Amino acid sequence: MEQPQPRFGYRLLAQDGLARLGEISTARGAIRTPAFMPVGTVATVKALYPEQVRQAGAGIVLANTYHLMLRPGAERVARLGGLHKFMRWDGPILTDSGGFQVMSLSKIRKITEEGVAFQSHIDGSRHMLSPERSIEIQSLLGADIQMQFDECIELPAETGEVARAMELSLRWAERSRRAFETFASPGQALFGIVQGGIDPALRRRSAEELAGLDLPGYAVGGLAVGEGHEAMVATLEATLPFLPAGKPRYLMGVGTPLDLIESVARGIDMFDCVMPTRNGRHGYAFTWGGVLNLKNAKHAEDLAPVDALSGCPAARDYSRAYVHHLIRSGEYLGAMILSWINTTFYQELMAGMRAAIAERRFAAWAQEVKPRVTARG
């Protein structure tokens, strides 16, 4: 008997105001939304074993097309059995298109209608990344969710430049869709990326044009690039009404706990950000009592656990004094402990939001939690 082909899908399970509780189905399992995706840029969530990421509660991780195409190479990963096998992660993986990294990391780049010619930030080798090549790489990696190739520009920028990049990204979205039909496997999905800076009219045009492609999901890109929290929130309010309600909505590269809460309140379903692990490597702990700077000398003799309310064993078992010592000594274990704690905190924050939406008490939950998670210690 022929087995049914795996299908990508999204179910809206409950709504409280604009906040949405849902479930994304993939060939490698379901993703409960709102969801936060730990960032595994080069096939690893920095300083963590895959088992720790899973135990923290993550249902999906993100990997990076730009970095993996340069090292070890998409074709090599494919020969080795695909990215899931390579990094020992059996859940869903989303890959970004590489567009943001090409714009921000490559030494020399030239943008044309065809794509972006650039030099590697690693060894100076020359490459061309186009919508077709980006999708081919993501398919070789075996990504469950793939992102269209787009141009992401830094803000602030002139309106004309923002419009030019948005229109180019729309044309690249159509080319990405056609390439996806050629390279992708059953059960995989392609998301479009809404661009347009913080201009409401440009965002609306981008959203409406992408919605016309009837893609499985949509991302809001081009934020968290210097526009500030209030502008980000206003841009979401100007964008989300023009995206299909029956498709998942992904806010790329965001953000702080406050960013996540405010974005879910406006209808976002998915997030990714390096903040939990990057801030952990720099001595910061996200806790249910606020953000702790464990480099600070005031923690040098503090025997309290990092976070007694956390579900992470490291948060309960290690003292602030000990982690302060590790961070000040430059020991790897300090970064490992804080990355684990922070990754767990972000997953617990999302679980709290999901429960609050299910019980139709999201606004009250947010009002109670926001002062706690934004405190500084």
What does the domain layout of the chain look like in residue ranges? 9-272, 280-362
Residues annotated catalytic, as ranges: 96, 272
Measure the CA–CA gap between 279 and 185, rounded to whole angstroms: 36
pLDDT cut 70: percent of the chain above it: 98
| CA-to-CA separations, 216 to 126, 150, 210, 354, in angstroms, rounded | 33, 17, 11, 22
Mean pLDDT for the stretch of residues 367-372: 98
Q: Which residue has the tokens 């299910």?
A: 358
Other Cβ atoms within 10 Å of 317 Cβ, number: 11
**How confident is the model at residue 2, as a pLDDT?**
44
Average pLDDT, the chain: 96
**How confident is the model at residue 5, as a pLDDT?**
60
3 state DSSP class of 210:
helix
Other Cβ atoms within 10 Å of 271 Cβ, number: 23
Could you report the per-residue pLDDT of 158-189, keeping only the tens digit for each? 999 999 999 999 999 999 999 999 999 999 99
Mean pLDDT for the stretch of residues 343-364: 98
**How confident is the model at residue 1, as a pLDDT?**
39
Could you report the per-residue pLDDT of 245-265, keeping only the tens digit for each? 999 999 999 999 999 999 999
**Would strands 93-96 and 61-64 be described as parallel, antiparallel, or unpaired?**
parallel
Measure the CA–CA gap between 312 and 348, rounded to whole angstroms: 10
Mean pLDDT for the stretch of residues 201-214: 98
pTM above the 0.85 mark?
yes
Which class in CATH covers the domain with range 9-272? alpha beta
Mean pLDDT for the stretch of residues 299-324: 98
Measure the CA–CA gap between 16 and 63, rounded to whole angstroms: 31
Structure tokens at 97: 């298109």
Could you report the per-residue pLDDT of 5-54, keeping only the tens digit for each? 678 999 999 999 999 999 999 999 999 999 999 999 999 999 999 999 99
